[in-house]
Chains A and B, each alone.
Chain A
Amino acid sequence: MDPASARAPEGRRPPGARARWTDEQVDQLLGNLLRIGVIVATIVAVIGGVLLLAQRGLAPASGHVFTGEPPELRSVGGILRAVAAGHPDAIVQLGLVLLIATPVARVAMSLVAFILQRDRIYIVVTTIVLALLIFSLTGGIPG
């Protein structure tokens, strides 16, 4: 059975708001956004991974010793500069950052949807979540 055919979109609209977007349309859009985000991030990271292994595949792995990543792999700006310089580990890191950004983009899209639905309570709720995420991604808490 197809759940899509059994749906009554009007039933989930917030009362009183003449929503141009139904919750279902928002759901569909969010689902696609997440999928595209994961695919793009994976492709970028895999390209970097192949280059990394081609360059250093036979060198010993060093994961058991904790040194912390170098500064250029710790911030979005640093990663982009290292990508421009052609460092394969920075390309992998860029893919990972894109992956981390996917749920953030999803929250941002939800905010747009709640604004279009004029859903005041959830505009506030979603803004709080988005602010916390941006605070974290911009290195808000020092180590």
Chain B
Amino acid sequence: MSLLLFTGLVGIGAFSAGMLGALTGLGGGMVIVPMLTILFHVDLRYAIGASLVSVIATSSGAAAAYVKEGYTNVRVGMLLEVATTLGALGGAYLAGRIGTGAIAVIFAIVLLYSAYRSTKPLAEHVMAQDDDPLSRRLRLASTYPTRKGLQPYGVKAVPAGFSLMLVAGVLSGLLGIGSGALKVLAMDQLMHLPFKVSTTTSNFMIGVTAAASAGIYLSRGYIDPGLALPVMLGVLAGALVGARILAGANTMVLRRIFAAVIIALALEMAYKGIRGGL
């Protein structure tokens, strides 16, 4: 295959992944790595490097729109970034130490978990009061815009959220994904942030987390410009188009389709990881 054809096909694949990722809210990073390794037979390390770059592009691109809407909690984001960047450095370090087969199997487990998670809606628990002493000390409580005007909210379980963020960071650095699903889980299920705040704050953090591991991938020679460019452009364009058509789309049906795709990719990844085909 010539470089021109390869670039075009990877770009189209990345565009589809970015669009589906935006429409389902799961992010394109989840399917980019399996797509590149299984469909295009790209080495797993190059695939992860390219995916990290695309994760940064979509996170920064979307954050530019989100931050302006006033939902993002910069203090919560910055505090938890201490955990995610530490985790990401650890994950990127591990990625160079353990074999690609083991990484593929871990990837498959994370994919299956995300597929399971994506079809189960979570309950929102917003607290109007900020009773948690640690949250008060760190001034994490804030307000977010709703139809009824600005709504105050409190934050709880900061140490538990922080710990889960360490795990999210490790997975991000090891697998080249945003770990958005885990970040949202920590923020709205453990720390009780409103959905809109946890989603946008998580997005805000994803770019910083990915940048922490991308530096290490770059210095190891895992970021290939010829591969990372079409992946990054495709995912970014797909995410922008996906966000435009999001209003009015039936996301539950899309989520189920996406979950099915993810399960198929996960099984293929696990099989290849165990058999040693990556």
What residues of chain A lie closer than 8 Å to B150, measured between beta carbons? 6-8, 11
Name the residue on B nearest A129 (C-beta): B81
Tell me the minimal C-beta distance from A9 to chain B in angstroms: 10
Instruction: Give A141 to B85 CA distance when docked, in angstroms.
Output: 13
Instruction: Give A90 to B52 CA distance when docked, in angstroms.
Output: 18
Instruction: Determine whether B274 belongs to the interface, using a CB cutoff of 8 Å to chain A.
Output: no
In the complex, the answer to whether A30 meets B67 with C-beta atoms within 8 Å is yes
Tell me the minimal C-beta distance from A66 to chain B in angstroms: 4
Chain B proximity mask over A58-100: 1 for CB below 8 Å, otherwise 0: 1111011110111101110000000000000110110111011
In the complex, the answer to whether B208 meets A53 with C-beta atoms within 8 Å is no
Q: What size tier do the contact residues of chain B reach?
A: 35 or more
Which residues 139-182 in B have Cβ within 8 Å of A in the complex?
Answer: 139, 142-143, 145, 147, 149-150
Pick the residue among B43, B69, B93, B139 that contacts A141 (CB under 8 A).
B93
Chain B proximity mask over A89-132: 1 for CB below 8 Å, otherwise 0: 11011011101111110110010000000000110011011001
Tell me the minimal C-beta distance from A54 to chain B in angstroms: 10
Given A3-B145, A7-B70, A125–B78 Cβ distance below 8 Å? yes
Q: What size tier do the contact residues of chain A reach?
A: 35 or more
What residues of chain B lie closer than 8 Å to A110, measured between beta carbons? 74, 78
In the complex, the answer to whether A27 meets B74 with C-beta atoms within 8 Å is yes
Pairs A–B under 8 Å by Cβ, sample size 30: A3-B145, A7-B70, A24-B70, A27-B74, A31-B66, A31-B67, A31-B68, A34-B207, A38-B236, A42-B236, A45-B233, A46-B229, A48-B225, A49-B230, A57-B7, A58-B4, A59-B3, A61-B2, A63-B6, A63-B40, A63-B43, A74-B220, A99-B57, A100-B211, A100-B214, A101-B211, A103-B207, A107-B78, A125-B82, A129-B208
In the complex, the answer to whether A52 meets B225 with C-beta atoms within 8 Å is yes
Pick the residue among B56, B89, B147, B229 that contacts A135 (CB under 8 A).
B89
Instruction: Give A107 to B88 CA distance when docked, in angstroms.
Output: 16
Interface of B toward A, CB cutoff 8 Å: 1-7, 36, 40-43, 45-46, 53, 56-57, 59-61, 63-70, 72, 74-75, 78-79, 81-82, 85-86, 88-89, 92-93, 96, 138-139, 142-143, 145, 147, 149-150, 207-208, 210-216, 218-230, 232-233, 236
Given A61-B1, A63-B40, A65-B43, A121–B138 Cβ distance below 8 Å? yes
What residues of chain B lie closer than 8 Å to A63, measured between beta carbons? 6, 36, 40, 42-43, 46, 224, 226-227
List 9 tightest A-B contacts by C-beta distance, closest first.
A136-B215, A68-B221, A61-B6, A92-B225, A66-B43, A69-B221, A139-B219, A137-B215, A57-B4
In the complex, the answer to whether B216 meets A27 with C-beta atoms within 8 Å is no
Pick the residue among A3, A48, A104 that contacts B70 (CB under 8 A).
A3
Tell me the minimal C-beta distance from B97 to chain A in angstroms: 9
Given A28-B68, A122-B75, A129-B78, A139–B236 Cβ distance below 8 Å? no
Tell me the minimal C-beta distance from B266 to chain A in angstroms: 21
Given A31-B68, A133-B215, A37–B60 Cβ distance below 8 Å? yes
What residues of chain A lie closer than 8 Å to B211, measured between beta carbons? 100-104, 133, 136-137
